[in-house]
Amino acid sequence: MQSTKTLTRIQTRGLARVAGGLAVSVAMFSAVHTEADTEREIGDVLSYAMPAAVLGFELYRGDKEGAWQFATSFSATTLATEALKRATKVERPDRTNDLSFPSGHAARAFSAASYIHRRHGWEYALPAYALATYVGHTRVQAKRHRWCDIAGAAAVSTLAAWWLVDPKSQKKVAISPLYDGEFVGIAIAARFR
């Protein structure tokens, strides 16, 4: 039992380090490069790096179930986002096309944050939500989206995560049948962290 608690603490610290590491990397890169194009490039990279980091971390931890659930949630988010873009035909602020709503970049970033929130808890998701919001900010600053496009992406991502991702629980319950020749019943043993 002690080793399980130690492993859980190590995994939790690792998850926090991944999110913190991404945030520090962005802050350092932003401090060196302050041009609008560079900020947009940071948002572009983060929109792919965040989901890749989440998937990689879950596989590294050996949480194949979590990795599969993230991949499923991410795929559903991407498909729903592309379907909504084609169905709503909202013109971009820069008038380049009519695929503004919802933002694909923000949907990818919020997909990672929503997964962390659903699977591991909001306290671990806060840095990821901050980064996802930053990705949305870069899209608005580049005149590719409006804030309602970012909010739509966040909503799609959140719905997919809450539908397809199970929280990682520390609760363990075992149910066993009992029969001693006269009595029939069940035994329930539960461990709550």
Q: Give me the pLDDT at residue 192, please.
A: 47
Q: Give the mean pLDDT of 35-39.
A: 76
Cβ proximity of 157 and 111 under 8 Å = yes
Q: Give me the pLDDT at residue 15, please.
A: 57
- Residue 188: pLDDT band by 50, 70, 90 thresholds? low
Angle at 139 between CA 98 and CA 22, to 5 degrees: 140
Taking 90 as the threshold, does the pLDDT of residue 170 lie above it? no
Residue 24 CB partners (closer than 8 Å, separation 6+): none
State the pTM of this model.
0.73
Question: What value does the mean pLDDT of the chain take?
Answer: 84
pLDDT single digits (tens) 111-125: 999 999 999 999 999
Q: Give me the pLDDT at residue 7, please.
A: 46
Residue 167 CB partners (closer than 8 Å, separation 6+): 118, 119, 120, 121
- CA 106/CA 102 separation, integer angstroms: 8
Taking 80 as the threshold, does the pLDDT of residue 3 lie above it? no
Among 32-36, 104-108, 127-131, 140-144, where is mean pLDDT lowest?
A: 32-36
Q: Counting every residue, how long is the chain?
A: 193
Amino acid at 43: G
Taking 80 as the threshold, does the pLDDT of residue 136 lie above it? yes
Q: Give the mean pLDDT of 148-157.
A: 98
Domain count, the chain: 1
- Rounded to 5 degrees, φ, ψ at 112 are -65, -45
CATH no. for residue 47?
1.20.144
Q: What's the domain range around 19?
A: 2-191
Q: Give me the pLDDT at residue 177, please.
A: 67
pLDDT single digits (tens) 5-17: 544 554 555 555 5
Task: Please measure the distance between the N-terminal and C-terminal CA atoms of the chain and give it in whole angstroms.
Answer: 10
Token couple for 16: 């926090």
- Residue 38: pLDDT band by 50, 70, 90 thresholds? confident
Taking 70 as the threshold, does the pLDDT of residue 187 lie above it? no
